[in-house]
Chain A
Amino acid sequence: MKRGALIEFHLDGRSGVSPYLQLIQQVRQALRLGMLTEGDQLPTVKDVVGRLAINPNTVLKAYRELEYEGLVAARPGVGTFVTRTLADESLAAHGELRAELQRWLARARRAGLDEESIEALILTTFRATMKEAI
């Protein structure tokens, strides 16, 4: 009897993020949240395409990228397995960062920004800063 898949992928058609990146992000997210740990098997390519109706090469490409990042390893003829969890060393910092962000959001509110303006400001700043970092 075949074991059920541990995670199921889903795609957001309106996000503007390519399906290939969405798959990668969902695996990373599952690793961060501890839903996938070392030794776990990712859904087979056939299962993913049979579910999402996407091109098999999209899944292969995503799995190759994850392999390149050292998060998973392919065992030919068997499947793709998680080799490393995304350690939660950074988790400790989340609380403080969130509190800081909440203070900033309160300031933005006081300055008269509505939800949409705040979102736009965060997004454009995030994109610009990340671009500089590359």
Chain B
Amino acid sequence: MSVVLESRALSKRYGRRQALTDCTLSIPAGRVAGLVGPNGAGKTTLLHLAVGLLAPTSGTIEVLGAPPPASPEQLARVGFVAQDTPTYAGLTVADHLKLGARMNPGWDAGLAQRRIASVALDPSQRAGKLSGGQRAQLALTLAIAKRPEYLILDEPVASLDPLARREFLQGLMEATAEHGVSVLISSHLVADLERVCDYLIVLTESRVQLTGDVDDLLASHRLLTGPRCDMAALPAEWHVISASHTDRQSTLLISTADPVGDTTWTVDQVSMEDLVLAYMSKAASTPGRNRTLEVQR
């Protein structure tokens, strides 16, 4: 299977601040990969490294087989929608399409027109007068009409109301189905990505906490509830990601390759949200890792 993004020990540092640490990823083609993490985790840094707006401090990254930005040809194959879906406020919708046609060798004018019509954007309207949802649709149209192989979006729905959010994701998924484009989309809200992504990257405090195929991740994790347990007595093949206890009850989120046979536990499937939150809180409860590194350097 081909890979759209591959990074090895990728790190980025701004002065004394470590924005991305030892990030190793291998994202397969044909997927919608969700990059999830709290604000300030390093999501934008990773995406900017992927599109060549930033250069790594150390480590390597390759997008579509070359370190970005390798060439105009590579740039033409990658679409990028930056945070808050920026557009030119003084230009009309039609101007944006003209600009897109001038600047992109593979521009699909028919597709751009059809999309503008289907989301009911007025071509003569200035972008500055558009609503947040309409502006996001315009930015998405520009990115899709470029006909990229890889589409990278930085928190595109964060500032949208629920309806605009849904319409944006509908448009994005339609384009994915129609053109087979691979997608990397970030969000600090898991719920936004739960249905759209089939590959997951959880990033907190500049580090990748979890990455993989969503189905595999959901199949290899279980939520257990049962009588209060002794953590030291749990089977060795259970990797406990999160645990909480009352006097009488224990709730565990574990990763395990085998089915849980022990009937003292009630076993439930985990949702993507359970999973992401468990890994986020795990990262938060193992402090000092980053700080130790800072001190050593």
Contacts and interface: CB of A to CB of B under 8 A. Distances in A.
Interface string A34-78: 000000000001100111111111110000000000000000000
Given A53-B166, A55-B32, A46 B198 contact: no
A15 B276 CA distance: 20
- Tell me the dominant secondary structure on chain A's binding face: helix
Contact of A53 (B169, B178, B269, B271): B169
Q: How many of chain A's residues touch chain B, expressed as a range?
A: 10 to 19
B197 A55 contact: yes
A54 B178 contact: no
Contacts of B176: 49, 55-56
Contacts of A11: 195
Nearest to A50: B174
A56 B173 contact: yes
Contacts of B166: 53
Contact of A55 (B171, B198, B269): B198
Contacts of A58: 195, 198
B169 A46 contact: no
Q: Which of A16, A54, A55 has the most CB atoms of chain B within a 10 A radius of its CB? A: A55
Contacts of B269: 16
A56 B196 CA distance: 8
B173 A49 contact: yes
Given A49-B170, A53-B170, 12 more contacts: A46-B178, A49-B174, A49-B177, A50-B174, A52-B170, A53-B173, A54-B196, A55-B176, A55-B195, A56-B176, A58-B195, A59-B177
Interface of B: 30-32, 166, 169-174, 176-178, 195-198, 269, 271
